[in-house]
Amino acid sequence: MPRSSLAVAAQQPQWPPALIHTKLAPPRTRHYIKRQRAIALLRSGLERKLTALTAPAGFGKTSLLSEWKAVLAEEGWAVGWLSIDRDDDDLFQFGAYLLAAARDAFNEVSSETGGDALAEVGSSVVCRLEPDPLAPADAMFADLLNAVAAQPRRMVLVLDDFDRLVSPTIHEAVFRLLRYAPENLHLLIAGRGEPAFPLSYFEARGQLLKLDAEALRFDSAETRAFLSAVAGRVPSPAQTEVLLQATEGWVAGLQLASFAWSADDSSGVPADRLPFARRSIEAYLNENVFVHIPEPLQAFLLQTSVLERMSVPLCNAVVGTDTAHASLDWLVARNMFVRLLDAEGHWYRFHALFAGYLRKRLVREQPHLVAELHRRASEWFASQSLWAEAVKHALAAGDVDRAAGWVEECAMHLVEASDVRIVLSWVAKLPPEAVRGRLRLRLAHAWALALTMETVAAKAALQAVEDDIECGRLPVTEVVRVELEAVKALIAGLSDESQRSLEMGRNVLELGPAAGSWAEGIGLTTLIFGLSYASGFDSVERLRHKLTFGIAAEAPIYALVYRQSMIGLSLFVEGRLGEAVETLEDVLRESNARAGRQSAASVLPVGYLAAIHYEWNDLARVAELLEGRLEIALQSCSLGPLVGFCVTLARLQLLAGKQDEAYRMLEDAEAVARSRQWIRMQVACKAEAIRISIRSGDMGRAARIGHELETLMGPKPPTLQGSYLETWQRFQVAHCRLLVACGRPDDAAHILQGVQAELRATGMQYLTAQISVVLAVALHSAGHGAEALQAMAAAVAYGQRNGLHRVFLDAGPVAREILNGLRQQASPLEDVEPWYVNGLCAGFDAKASAPDVVSNAVSQYQPEPMTGSRLSAREVEILDYVARGLSNKEIARAIRVAPETVKWHLKNIFEKLKVNSRIQAVRSGLGRDLPLVSERGASRNDSGREGSR
The model's pLDDT over 18-41, given as tens digits with 9 standing for 90+, comes to: 678 889 989 876 656 788 888 999
Of 932, 937, 934, nearest in space to 202 by CA? 932
Q: Which CATH architecture group holds 292-395?
A: Orthogonal Bundle (1.10)
Q: Do 21-216 and 715-860 fold alike per CATH?
A: no
Predicted pLDDT of residue 9: 34
Query: 544-585: per-residue pLDDT in tens?
Result: 887 765 544 455 778 888 999 999 999 999 999 999 999 999
Average pLDDT over residues 278-289: 66
State yes or no: pLDDT of 106 exceeds 90: no
Q: Crossing angle of helices 577-595/600-615, nearest 10°?
A: 150
Query: What is the number of helices (H) and of strands (E) in the chain?
Result: 50, 7
CATH number assigned to the domain covering 21-216: 3.40.50.300
Predicted pLDDT of residue 905: 80
Highest mean pLDDT among 103-112, 731-740, 881-890: 731-740
Query: 678-722: per-residue pLDDT in tens?
Result: 999 999 999 999 999 999 999 999 999 999 999 999 888 877 788
Burial class (CB in 10 A: 0-12, 13-18, 19+), 860: middle
Predicted pLDDT of residue 69: 93
- The type of residue at 285 is L
Average pLDDT over residues 634-656: 93
Q: Which residue has the higher pLDDT, 179 or 122?
A: 179
State yes or no: pLDDT of 586 exceeds 80: yes
Spell out the residues 6+ positions from residue 6 whose beta carbon is closer than 8 angstroms to its own: 382, 406, 409
Helix (H, G, I), strand (E, B) or coil at 301: helix
Predicted pLDDT of residue 929: 44
Q: Which helix (H) or strand (E) holds 159?
A: strand 155-160
Predicted pLDDT of residue 198: 85
CATH of region 873-926, choose from 3.40.50.720, 1.10.3720.10, 3.40.50.10900, 1.10.10.10: 1.10.10.10
CATH of region 715-860, choose from 3.40.50.720, 2.60.120.10, 3.30.2130.30, 1.25.40.10: 1.25.40.10
pLDDT-derived band at 271, boundaries 50, 70, 90? very low
Query: 399-437: per-residue pLDDT in tens?
Result: 999 999 989 988 888 888 778 888 898 898 888 999 999
pLDDT-derived band at 477, boundaries 50, 70, 90? confident
Query: 766-803: per-residue pLDDT in tens?
Result: 999 999 999 999 999 999 999 999 999 999 999 999 99
State yes or no: pLDDT of 830 exceeds 60: yes
Of 621, 665, 628, nearest in space to 647 by CA? 665
Query: 495-541: per-residue pLDDT in tens?
Result: 999 999 999 999 999 998 888 888 898 999 999 999 999 999 999 99
Average pLDDT over residues 821-849: 81
State yes or no: pLDDT of 944 exceeds 50: no
- What's 417's DSSP letter? T
Q: Which helix (H) or strand (E) holds 340?
A: strand 338-340
State yes or no: pLDDT of 881 exceeds 50: yes
- Which of 33-42, 108-117, 211-220, 361-370 shows the lowest mean pLDDT across its residues? 108-117
pLDDT-derived band at 372, boundaries 50, 70, 90? very high
Predicted pLDDT of residue 873: 73
Beta strands 348-350; 338-340: pairing state: antiparallel
Alpha-carbon distance of 651 to 688, in angstroms, equals 9
Predicted pLDDT of residue 938: 45
Predicted pLDDT of residue 30: 65
Q: Which residue has the higher pLDDT, 865 or 457?
A: 457
Q: Which helix (H) or strand (E) holds 848?
A: none
Average pLDDT over residues 606-621: 95
Predicted pLDDT of residue 715: 86
Predicted pLDDT of residue 726: 94
Q: How far is CA 805 from the centre of its chain?
A: 36
First to last CA, the chain: 65
Cis peptide, bond prior to residue 16, ω within 30 of zero = yes
Spell out the residues 6+ positions from residue 679 whose beta carbon is closer than 8 angstroms to its own: 496, 673, 712, 713, 727
pLDDT-derived band at 939, boundaries 50, 70, 90? very low
Average pLDDT over residues 191-198: 86
Domain ranges of the chain: 21-216, 221-278, 292-395, 715-860, 873-926
Predicted pLDDT of residue 925: 58
Average pLDDT in the chain: 83
